[in-house]
Chain A
């Protein structure tokens, strides 16, 4: 019983699909290619189990999803779930065994090595969990490295690199070497480097997992700030469910090489696909995750409108409004038009249901 703002869903649908991952498989070890044609059936499950016991590692099983332009798409899974393999398949750092990866309609798996280098040079950027900074180069040279690889002359690439260094807030550390920086600073360099070529697609592989909790939080804010500035199409990997719901427009949850559920944070929290997903939602502070739009109902006309609140507010931020209006109040969209209403009884029902589910 949840409702979504029509225009919100509409915008996601209208947006262009930037990257599409279709039926991608990655198996390590000798594998009978017949299995790739199988769809999600009990027969396939037993075939995959047989594959595992024969010593092969199916790290990605029939993975399909679309990433829209300007969207933050988070793939969340525990270690060994195959999420790192999937993100590497997207850029062909790992060669998928089967499937299609369409980047603006072009199948990357068909691309020649030369074409692939061209795409990586101009249109993709990636941030790594262990930073992947070149230890023998300074901060500035590290950030300029992708441009150097393209053959951009020194003056131009260093100008661009110092802009990027400034963007991530490391101005003044240009001449330091990676070993002289803290973990958080190193990852800022990694971020600056991945953005130096102005990529359309931005891959982040557990970028903040190696950092302390406080720094992690700071970097997440920084990341969101950058995204509002740059509006990249992002695939973000994490093993931290709270990080996923904090950052994501949509989340894909992976387990044992398979995607179990794809949806917005609210969808996953309110309608977990199975017990495995439910287990993650247990510790989630509901009022943080849900927005007013997630719990509002059609406007019936009798609630007061003077203290109407905006639909994209989080439930937590809407709470104070109940102080003056114990029953409920109207909800408006960004242009101020009334789009629905929110009632105390509805909010309580949702909390109660969620409590019931996770018990």
Chain B
């Protein structure tokens, strides 16, 4: 690696230099423009994208950035996004077209995409740092790497799913290959491509924030991170809010343009160009005015609204008065879920000073046996195996399970779900983790993930099922979900640490808050998209509401629910690394430590280990879902 760096540093230096040009240029422009001009310009864009409500929201959000004095930092972050997003989108489009054109390229790409999305960004930040040198360009490249997969996937999917009649009609018009691609296929796939663009922009922002751990660009992510480290909660809350608002604006604007492409409503072109001219004039006038009134150019620092002390006072008041509630919750979860999973009942009681007598141990196993028998009556063999596994895991703790047992369990599950190929892949992946000596931290990751996934699965499933049958609740939940999903993962940590302090529990809460969303969404979607006639038949046969839910809805929706579970696992893993910032001791932490020590090898192996956990889970679940979908005769979505 060092040799590689030494030999090719000139090339990477050149790339770095090349990329830093647009970055500094854009940064310069955004800094130089008076805030009033930028604010109004964004408001216009918001209006053009989705009408007056978004325009008002945009104006208010940008004004918040101005008033709290984070304008400079915000604009720096925006400059990073402004360079990284087009880069990611362009590269993503190119790769998507390539993948669409050639089957070999597609297969290679899909593996690459899986890696790019599951290997935590922290672990490729290190080699990037070595290659490109210290500075914001590294964050830029990391963001581009992280953000291009959604673009690639959407481009491939969009291009491939253009109706054949459309392509044929183009061909029958005598279109050449070039014409048929650019005039028929790309425009027809544009709605899907725009969805990809939206996701890419959001991923870019998310990554730009994470990459700010490198520092050196004075952006808003850095501000949040440094204040959080100094335990200045008021500051980090206010600046975290900037990130959240920026995420929402970018999301709504790009989603607004995307849906406008989709609806293709007739817009008279004349009035559009007139509106464009009018807004340009207004912006010029604003610019002139801001030259006269310096307050419009630079928000005076004495006008800054910065209620840090109030927030901090309020927070410490809350914590000192109601802190016991949080502490109680934390303790309950710790003792009922986290610790048994981590070290098992046996050690847990030992640690607390009790020894469990052999009689009690026997009693536990007898109870387990009964449960297994019961399960085998109720859900046949598989249920019994599941109960046995849970019982064993709770007794010894996940981290104490000997590796051959886990190999066997995962191997059999993979083989059952996806056949011999999936099983081999899973075993090979687990061997990698074992051989690199990361088994210990990997098990810690697994335990944290398992706890988070189980919590998300149960809670998210319940919420989703509720939303499926209650329109009002669904309407309430949707914007909450949207917001949870748009906000960069980083921001979740802020409220969590100050309420629960550092530790596994805080990590768990942050992870669950982030990864519960897909579970809710997919469950609701799965239940809602059940054929009407099936529900009517069930009601007609006299099913009670509960019977219908458990015997009709959930089994039919199970493929969708499992896809949600899959997404939940992926989000959990991606959040794991970020949660390392609040003090865990798992793979995420190892990656983070490797980053701070600039240890390329350690960063990459640990990153790949996380990716392996994710990919094994993904393959097994996907295989299961495919099987189930075929059984149910459901179209793949």
**CB-based contact A134/B187 at 8 Å:** yes
Tell me which residues across on chain A come within 8 A of B361, comparing CB atoms. Answer: none
0/1 interface trace, chain A 102-128, chain B, CB 8 Å (1 if under): 000000000000000111111011101
Given contacts A134-B187, A175-B266, A176-B266, contact A149 B175 (CB under 8 A): yes
B172-A134 in contact (CB<8A): no
Set of chain B residues within 8 Å of A93, measured between Cβ atoms: 168, 171-172
Residues on A with beta carbons closer than 8 Å to the beta carbon of B184: 134
Instruction: Please tell me if B349 contacts chain A, counting CB pairs below 8 Å.
Output: no
Query: Any chain A CB within 8 A of the CB of B179?
Result: yes
In the bound assembly, the distance between CA atoms of A24 and B49 in angstroms comes to 53
- With A and B bound together, what is the CA distance between A150 and B183 in angstroms? 13
CB distance from B190 to the nearest CB of A (A): 7
Q: What are the residues of chain B within 8 A of A145 when measuring CB–CB? A: 170, 173, 183
Query: Is B635 interfacial (CB 8 A cutoff)?
Result: no
A138 to B267, CA, bound (A): 11
A175 to B268: give the CA distance in the assembly, Å.
10
Q: Which residue of A lies closest to B179 (CB)?
A: A149
Near B by CB (< 8 A), chain A positions 156-176 give 175-176
Is there a chain A Cβ closer than 8 Å to B545's Cβ? Answer: no
A130 touches B (CB below 8 Å)? yes
B259-277 interface code vs A (CB 8 A; 1 in, 0 out)? 0010111100000000000
Given A136-B188, A149-B183: A126 in contact with B176 (beta carbons within 8 A): no
Give chain A nearest CB distance to B270 CB in angstroms: 12
Asked if B325 is at the interface of the complex by the 8 Å CB criterion, the answer is no
Which residues from 169 to 217 on chain B have a C-beta closer than 8 Å to any C-beta of chain A?
A: 169-176, 179, 183-184, 187-188, 190
Instruction: Check A146 against B190 for contact (C-beta < 8 Å).
Output: no
Indicate if the CB atoms of A136 and B266 lie closer than 8 Å: no
Is B381 in contact with chain A by the CB < 8 A criterion?
A: no
- A304-340 CB mask vs B (1 if < 8 Å, else 0) is 0000000000000000000000000000000000000
CA distance in complex: A146, B173 (Å): 5
Task: Please indicate the chain A residues that have their CB under 8 angstroms from the CB of B187 in the complex.
Answer: 134-137
- Pairwise interchain contact A121-B163, C-beta atoms closer than 8 A: no
Q: Which of B170, B173, B175, B266 contacts A138, CB < 8 Å?
A: B266
The interface bits of chain B over 528-554 (1 if a CB of A lies within 8 angstroms of the residue's CB, else 0) are 000000000000000000000000000
CA distance A88 to B167 in the complex (A): 13
Pick the contact of B172: A126, A133, A175 (CB < 8 A): A126
- Pairwise interchain contact B176-A136, C-beta atoms closer than 8 A: no
Instruction: Name which residue of chain A comes closest to B177, CB basis.
Output: A113
A31 within 8 A of B: no
The distance in angstroms between the C-alpha atoms of A139 and B259, with both chains bound, is 21
Of B163, B171, B187, B188, the most chain A CB neighbours within 10 A belong to B171
By a CB distance below 8 angstroms, the chain B residues around A203 are: 172
- Decide if A230 is an interface residue (CB 8 Å cutoff): no
CB distance from B174 to the nearest CB of A (A): 3
Chain B residues with CB under 8 Å of A132's CB are 163, 165-166, 168-169
A residues near B163, Cβ cutoff 8 Å: 130, 132
Q: Is A343 positioned at the interface, with any CB of B under 8 Å from its CB?
A: no
Residue in contact with B174 in the complex, picked from A118, A128, A134, A177, CB distance below 8 Å:
A118
Contacts of B170 in A (CB 8 A): 134, 145, 149
* B168 lies within 8 A of A121 (CB): no
CB neighbours (8 Å) of A197 from chain B are 173
The answer on a CB contact under 8 Å between B174 and A130 is no
- Distance A129 CA – B168 CA, assembled complex (angstroms): 12
For A128, what are the chain B residues with a Cβ–Cβ distance below 8 Å?
165, 168-169
Instruction: Please pick, from A122, A134, A150, the residue contacting B166 in the complex, using a CB distance under 8 A.
Output: A134
Q: How far is the CA of A199 from the CA of B172 in the complex (A)?
A: 11
User: How many residues in B have their beta carbons less than 8 Å from beta carbons of A?
Assistant: 23
A:194-240 near B, CB below 8 Å: 194, 197, 203
B193 to chain A, nearest CB (A): 12
User: Do B165 and A131 have beta carbons less than 8 Å apart?
Assistant: yes
Cα distance A122–B169 in the bound complex, in angstroms: 14
- How distant is the Cα of A176 from the Cα of B267 in the complex, in angstroms? 10
Partner of A126, one of B169, B175, B190: B169
A177 nearest in chain B by CB position: B264
The answer to whether B264 and A149 have CB atoms under 8 Å apart is no
A91 within 8 A of B: yes
Interface residues of B in 250-265 (CB under 8 A from A): 261, 263-265
> What separation, in Å, do the CA atoms of A197 and B190 have in the docked complex?
27
CB-contacts of B130-189 with A (<8 A):
163, 165-166, 168-176, 179, 183-184, 187-188
Contact of B165 among A122, A130, A177 (CB under 8 A): A130
Shortest Cβ distance from A91 into B: residue: B172
Closest residue on chain A to residue B184 by CB atoms: A134
A179 at interface, CB cutoff 8 A: yes
Q: Which of A62-93 contact B (CB under 8 A)?
A: 88, 91, 93
Contact at A129–B171, with CB atoms within 8 Å? no
Do B172 and A125 have beta carbons less than 8 Å apart? yes
Given contacts A132-B165, A132-B169, A134-B184, contact A177 B266 (CB under 8 A): yes
Q: A148 to B183: give the CA distance in the assembly, Å.
A: 10
Q: What is the minimal beta-carbon distance from A205 to any residue of chain B, in angstroms?
A: 8
Determine the chain B residues whose CB is within 8 A of the CB of A122 once the complex forms.
Answer: 174
A298 CB to nearest B CB, Å: 48
Q: How far is the CA of A233 from the CA of B612 in the complex (A)?
A: 62
Kindly provide the distance from the CB of B51 to the nearest chain A CB, expressed in whole angstroms: 20
**A176 and B266 alpha carbons, distance in the complex (Å):** 7
Task: Please name all residues of chain B whose beta carbon is closer than 8 Å to the beta carbon of A134 when the two chains form the complex.
Answer: 166, 169-170, 184, 187-188
- Contacting pair B168 A179 (CB below 8 A): no
Produce 1/0 per residue, B583-610, CB < 8 A to A: 0000000000000000000000000000
How far apart are the CA atoms of A134 and B188 in the complex, in Å? 7
Tell me the bound Cα distance from A121 to B175 in angstroms.
8
Q: How far is the CB of A79 from chain B (nearest CB, A)?
A: 16
How distant is the Cα of A128 from the Cα of B163 in the complex, in angstroms?
Answer: 11
A186 CB to closest chain B CB (Å) equals: 12
Which residues of A are found within 8 Å of B179, using beta-carbon distances? 149
Known interface pairs A132-B165, A136-B190. Does A120 touch B266 (Cβ–Cβ under 8 Å)?
A: no
Q: Across the interface, which residues of A come within 8 angstroms of B261, CB to CB?
A: 136
A80 → B minimal CB distance (Å): 17
The residues of A with any CB-CB pair to B shorter than 8 Å are: 88, 91, 93, 117-122, 124-126, 128-138, 145-146, 148-150, 175-177, 179-180, 190, 193-194, 197, 203
Chain B residues within 8 Å of A, Cβ to Cβ: 163, 165-166, 168-176, 179, 183-184, 187-188, 190, 261, 263-266
Which 6 pairs of residues, A with B, have the shortest CB-CB distance?
A: A121-B174, A132-B169, A132-B165, A146-B173, A120-B174, A128-B165
In the complex, 5 of the A-B residue pairs with CB atoms within 8 angstroms, ordered by the A residue number, are A117-B175, A125-B172, A145-B170, A146-B173, A148-B183
Given A91-B172, A131-B165, 8 additional A-B pairs, CB 8 A:
A120-B171, A133-B166, A138-B266, A145-B173, A146-B173, A150-B174, A179-B263, A179-B264
